[in-house]
Amino acid sequence: MASFSNTSTGDKPADPYKQANQQELDVRTKVEDLGNFINACKYGMMTTKSAESGRLVSRCMAVAATENNGVDLIFHTNTESGKTDDVANDPEVNLAFLNSKGEWASIAGHASIITDRDAVKKYYSPSLKAWMGDLGDGVHDASANDPRIGIVRVDAETATYALSGKSQVMQAVEVAQSALRGKPAEVNSLRHISEAEYKSWRQVAESRKE
């Protein structure tokens, strides 16, 4: 694996911001706080690798639901759109969420396309008619039985996110004061959920189903 460095900081932290803001919490708190943030944002950007060009492309997607105690995300999709080609070709995706306070989340996950009608009906919303349209052929009518309507499910593998309990004014004050002190601003709670932590959380969710 290639790495990059432009200098050496000796025994000083190479990333002072990360050191000042990183917060270690229990898995439940990290997963639940991330879930609450995603639900509040609702809209995020899904990045896939284009099946046609191999380049990264991003699309705005609305979260329709979550599964496994909030760690796996459900999105509606038109099965005939480019994103389904991308996922079928390379299921590794990234989801990014951002709000006006500068709080953000980045989730790496494995996507799958679900066309099972029971699953589609479970998460179906009449609002999809505004996006799918009725083609007037008695089949492609944007109902729950329309074969164009499917689900993209993203099973989260790792996540990094930053939340702030401070107002934008207080964040600005903290940044200004930190600049004067020459110290990294402590404005966020920077958190990471590892693959092992996601796995253990899913096991808890599965045990509750039994």
- Total of domains in the chain: 1
7 belongs to a structural domain: no
CB 177 within 8 A of CB 151: no
**Residue 109 belongs to domain with CATH number:** 2.30.110.10
Using pLDDT thresholds of 50, 70 and 90, give the confidence band for residue 166. low
188 belongs to a structural domain: yes
End-to-end CA separation in angstroms for the chain: 41
144 belongs to a structural domain: yes
73 alpha-carbon distance from chain centroid: 8
- Give all strands (DSSP E) within the chain, no chain letters: 43-49, 56-67, 72-78, 92-98, 104-114, 149-163, 189-193
Beta-carbon contacts of residue 146 (< 8 Å; ≥ 6 apart): 132, 139, 140
This prediction's pTM? 0.82
List the domain range (segments joined by +) for residue 153: 16-209
Task: Give the pLDDT confidence score for residue 196 in this predicted structure.
Answer: 96
200 belongs to a structural domain: yes
Please tell me the distance from the alpha carbon of residue 111 to that of residue 109, in angstroms, as a whole number. 6
Please tell me the distance from the alpha carbon of residue 112 to that of residue 123, in angstroms, as a whole number. 15
List, for residues 183-203, the tens digit of each pLDDT value. 555 546 889 999 999 999 988
